[in-house]
Amino acid sequence: MRLLYVHSRKASFVAIDRDILAERFEIEDLYQPGRLPNVPRVIGAVRRADVVFGWFASWHTFLPVTLAWLLRKPSVMVIGGFDTANMPDISYGHQRGGLRRQASRWIFRRATRLITNSTYSLSEIERNTPIPPERVTVVHHGVPDPFGEAPAAKERAALTVGAIDRTTLVQKGQLPFVQAARELPDVRFVFAGKWLDDAVEELRAAASPNVELTGWLSDDDLHAAYRSAAVYVQASRHEGFGLAVAEAMLAGCVPVVMNVTAMPEVVGDAGVLIESQEPAAVAEGVRKALAMGPGAAARARERILTAFPMESRREGILRVVDGAISERA
C-alpha cells in the first residue's frame, strides 16, 4: 500500500515515524515548509495514496486531509504542540483564535484517526478544542539509542539544543538559559542549534564568557555534546513531549525542565523540575542537577529506556494506521 507522508519540518521525530511506516508501506513524501501548497502536486499525491499520514494540523496538512476526506481515503494525523496550544501570554498556539484555529479544527474533524504524543497533550486537546478525547490515541514517542551506555565521565557543563528565532527565545526558554550562566561562572553553558534569524544577537548580548553558541551541529557533533554535558536544560513554557530532553537523558544528562506541560511526564523522578523561567531559578536547577551524584546519569538513561522504547511507538503508530484503513474499507 502507498502512504502519503505529509510534514513541514525536518525533525528527528518526523524521520523516526517515517522509518517505522516504511517497514509496512511504500512511502511518498510531501514536504511542505511554506504556507501555500503546490495544489497540483498535492492533488496527484493524494489520488495516488491509499492512506494519508500527517504531522501537525496546520496549513501544510489542510489540503491533503481535506482531499482524503472528500475521496473517502483514510487519514491519520499526529497532533499536539503549536496546533493544540492556547498560550496568548507568549503568542503561542493555533487555538488562540483566527484562521489557524479554524483550519486546525477542520483538520481534526476530518482526519480518520488522531494520535498525540503525551497524556498532557490529550488533556490540552480536551481543554482547548471541541474534539472528544476518545477520538485521540496517546502513543508516546519512542527514542532511538545511539549511545549504548551513559559515559563514565561528564564535563561540568549545561547543554540546551534547539533552533533559534524570535518566537523561541521565551517559548523554549532560550534567553533564560543564557542569562542563567552568569549565576554559575564555573559551569560551561553550551547552546547548540541553527540560527534562523537575528534573535541570536540578543542571546550574544546577554551571554557571559562561559556561554558557547555553537550554531548548527552535525549528528555526530551533537551526540558528542550530549555525551560530554552533565546537565541538559529545557526551560520551555510548552512542550508536547520534549524529544530532545529524552535524547539527552539517554546520553546520561540529568535534565532540568519546567514543571509544566508534558515535561514532568517525560522526566519523571530522574531530573530537576523548576517552577520559573527566571535565570536564578534555571541556575539553581542546574546547581541541583550537578549535585545529584554519579548515579543520576544512569537513572536518567534508564528512565527513557524503560518508559519510551521504540517498539511501543512502532506498535502504536501501526495499530492506529491499520485501524484507519479498516474504518474506511
The edge-to-edge listing of strands for the beta sheet with 211-215 is 211-215, 188-192, 155-161, 229-234, 254-258, 272-274
d(C-alpha 102, C-alpha 100), whole Å: 5
Provide the pLDDT for residue 261. Answer: 96
Mean pLDDT over residues 197-215, rounded? 97
C-alpha cell at 297: 546519569
Q: What is the mean pLDDT of residues 184-195?
A: 97
Give the cell for residue 35: 504556507
- Report the pLDDT value the prediction gives residue 177, as an integer from 0 to 100: 98
> Of the candidates 59, 57, 31, which has an alpha carbon nearest to the alpha carbon of residue 45?
31
Given a cut of 80, is residue 294 above it in pLDDT?
Answer: no
Residue with cell 564555573: 186
Is 208 in contact with 196 (CB distance < 8 Å)?
A: no
Confidence of residue 149 (pLDDT cuts 50, 70, 90): confident
Per-residue pLDDT tens digits for 245-273: 999 999 999 999 999 999 999 999 999 99
Query: What confidence score (pLDDT) does residue 328 get?
Result: 80
pLDDT tens-digit map of 62-92 = 999 999 999 999 999 999 999 999 999 999 9
105 contacts: CB under 8 Å, gap ≥ 6: 57, 129, 130, 131
Residue that is written with C-alpha cell 512511502 in the block: 27
Q: Given this model, what pLDDT does residue 79 score?
A: 98
Query: Residue 88: how many CA atoms within 13 Å on its side-chain side?
Result: 6
Between CA 4 and CA 141, with CA 78 as vertex, the angle to 5 degrees is 110
Strands 272-274 and 254-258: parallel
The whole-angstrom separation of Cα 329 and Cα 325 is 6
Nearest to residue 61, comparing CAs of 45, 72, 50, 235? 45
Contact 45, 72 (CB under 8 A): no
